[in-house]
């Protein structure tokens, strides 16, 4: 039996893929402990999950909403979120790993406390890459920004690993030299040049707890599902309104279900447009013909894992990169989140329904996901790392480890 400490930020989309991996590991007799925010981990990982709380850290949501775009937004993310989160949590993560007698630290790419704790304790560390945007060198054409970011991480390492005879590099903190689990494939992410420790496993799907959806309301028309993720409710009102208008204009062709957490649509107009504060996405995706979303990596991968083409309207962070991956793969249409009107949404929906190439491309991405092993392959790679026998990466997508979960 091996023991794995999962370190995650307080963000649903960064926890969800690891929930499925944790279940594979525990089903195979291994032990998993979580380090992070119980209020986020608990509802996703279930009541049986062992969670060691980190000190509370939540960025100011108002500051996030008003953060500028472009590289100024990158600066905001690193200076106001990632580095302060690591400073806040590194001691508690280190203590959790020590008390749990962890063999491997498995750390989300935005939970920098994980690799810092692993370095302190001399443990192998695996990076959970919940978005393929992190696998690209975003600063290839901006070396000064890369130097600034590396300096910021180097200072973080100096603060918390000063006693180590050999300190990890900023690159090792951002992407483990031991193992990187990438929850995508090159069929979606494109021809990424990656380090040999990267394993492409495709999305790891896990049902999320929450109120069930009354599927008896679905009447057999092609289903269009709209969801903007957990962080965009405050800025999504205008976009949801134009989506509802567009989908109502297509009531003879489609039925719509919209996640409306702030009730901007006031119940819309069932049965043509059905709104709920929360949607159990996976059961709905099994029936969906089109998904409209913010190009969050989880939502995109879950949709394509069901062969469903997308309309993507990126809002912030890595979403423009993921949206470009969807369109480059031929699996969807991109619209402008801040400016798309009902007619643009309506035309995009009609195109996805009437032009078979979009659905065919979505199914091709699905086939690549199916072949890459998902949570089972991720668990196998982690066990192999724990046993010191992680095989060299053989192919761009997946490839099974020698350990066996």
User: What does DSSP assign to residue 162?
Assistant: T
How much is the average pLDDT of 73-79?
82
What six digits make up the tokens of 347?
């035309």
Q: 221-248: per-residue pLDDT in tens?
A: 999 999 997 555 556 789 999 999 999 9
Checking if the pLDDT of 64 tops 70, the result is no
The domain limits of the chain are 3-202+372-386, 215-368
267: left (phi over 0), alpha (psi -120 to 50) or beta: left
Q: 291-320: per-residue pLDDT in tens?
A: 999 999 999 999 999 999 999 999 887 888
How much is the average pLDDT of 78-85?
92
Checking if the pLDDT of 144 tops 80, the result is yes
Task: Kindly report which listed range (11-15, 190-194, 304-308, 388-392) carries the lowest average pLDDT score.
Answer: 190-194
Q: Residue 193: its pLDDT value, please? A: 62
User: What does DSSP assign to residue 95?
Assistant: H
Q: How many CA atoms lie within 13 A of 98 on its CB side?
A: 11
Q: Specify the pairing of strand 179-182 against strand 198-200.
A: parallel
Q: Residue 295: its pLDDT value, please? A: 93
What six digits make up the tokens of 394?
């053989």
Q: 327-385: per-residue pLDDT in tens?
A: 999 999 999 999 999 999 999 999 999 999 999 999 999 999 999 999 999 999 999 99
Q: 27-62: per-residue pLDDT in tens?
A: 999 999 999 999 999 999 999 999 999 998 876 655
Confidence category of residue 401, pLDDT binned at 50, 70, 90: very low
Percent with pLDDT over 70 in the chain: 89
pTM of the model: 0.87
Q: How far apart are CA 385 and CA 379, in angstroms?
A: 10
Checking if the pLDDT of 395 tops 60, the result is no
Q: 86-139: per-residue pLDDT in tens?
A: 999 999 999 999 999 999 999 999 999 999 999 999 999 999 998 877 676 666
How much is the average pLDDT of 266-286?
90
Name the strands in the sheet holding 273-276, side by side, starting at the edge strand that comes first in the sequence: 273-276, 255-259, 223-227, 288-293, 310-312, 332-334
Q: How far apart are CA 385 and CA 125, in angstroms?
A: 9
If you count them, how many residues does the chain have?
Answer: 405
Q: What is the CATH number of domain 215-368?
A: 3.40.50.2000
Q: How far apart are CA 18 and CA 20, in angstroms?
A: 5
CATH (one of 3.40.50.2000, 3.40.50.1970, 3.90.1010.20, 3.40.800.10) for 3-202+372-386: 3.40.50.2000
Q: Tell me if residue 387 falls in helix, strand or coil.
A: coil
Burial class (CB in 10 A: 0-12, 13-18, 19+), 138: middle
Count of Cβ atoms closer than 10 Å to residue 47 Cβ: 7
Count of Cβ atoms closer than 10 Å to residue 274 Cβ: 21
Please give the mean pLDDT across all residues of the chain. 89
């Amino acid at each position: 039996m091996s023991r794995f400490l999962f370190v995650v930020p307080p963000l649903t989309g960064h926890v969800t893929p690891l929930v499925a991996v944790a279940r594979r590991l525990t089903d195979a007799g291994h032990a998993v402990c979580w380090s992070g925010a119980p209020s986020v981990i608990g509802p996703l990982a279930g009541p049986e999950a062992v969670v060691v709380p980190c000190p509370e850290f939540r960025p100011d949501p108002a500051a996030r909403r008003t953060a500028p775009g472009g590289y100024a937004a990158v600066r905001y993310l690193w200076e106001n979120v990632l580095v302060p989160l690591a400073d806040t949590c590194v001691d508690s993560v280190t203590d959790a790993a020590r008390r749990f007698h962890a063999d491997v630290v498995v750390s989300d790419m935005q939970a920098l406390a994980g690799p810092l704790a692993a370095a302190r304790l001399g443990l192998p560390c695996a990076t959970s890459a919940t978005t393929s945007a992190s696998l690209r060198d975003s600063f290839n054409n901006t070396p000064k920004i890369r130097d600034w970011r590396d300096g910021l991480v180097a200072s973080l390492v100096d603060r918390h690993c000063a006693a180590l005879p050999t300190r990890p590099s900023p690159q090792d903190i951002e992407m483990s030299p031991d193992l990187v689990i990438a929850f995508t494939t090159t069929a979606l992410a494109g021809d990424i040049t990656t380090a040999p420790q990267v394993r492409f496993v495709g999305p790891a799907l896990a049902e999320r707890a929450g109120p069930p959806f009354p599927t008896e309301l679905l009447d057999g028309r092609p289903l269009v599902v709209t969801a903007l993720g957990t962080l965009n409710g405050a800025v999504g009102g205008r976009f949801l309104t134009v989506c509802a208008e567009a989908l109502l204009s297509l009531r003879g062709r489609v039925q719509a279900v919209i996640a409306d957490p702030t009730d901007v649509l006031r119940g819309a107009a069932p049965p043509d447009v059905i709104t709920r504060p929360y949607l159990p996405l996976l059961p709905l995706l099994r029936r969906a013909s089109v998904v409209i979303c913010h190009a969050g990596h989880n939502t995109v991968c879950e949709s394509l894992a069901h062969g469903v083409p997308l309309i993507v309207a990126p809002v912030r962070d890595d979403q423009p990169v993921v949206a470009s991956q969807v369109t480059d793969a031929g699996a969807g249409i991109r619209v402008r989140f801040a400016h798309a009107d009902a007619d643009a949404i309506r035309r995009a929906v009609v195109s996805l329904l009437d032009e078979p190439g979009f659905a065919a491309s979505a199914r091709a991405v699905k086939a690549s996901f199916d072949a890459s092993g998902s949570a089972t392959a991720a668990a196998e790679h982690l066990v192999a790392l724990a046993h010191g026998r992680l095989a060299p990466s053989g192919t761009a997508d997946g490839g099974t480890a020698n350990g066996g979960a």
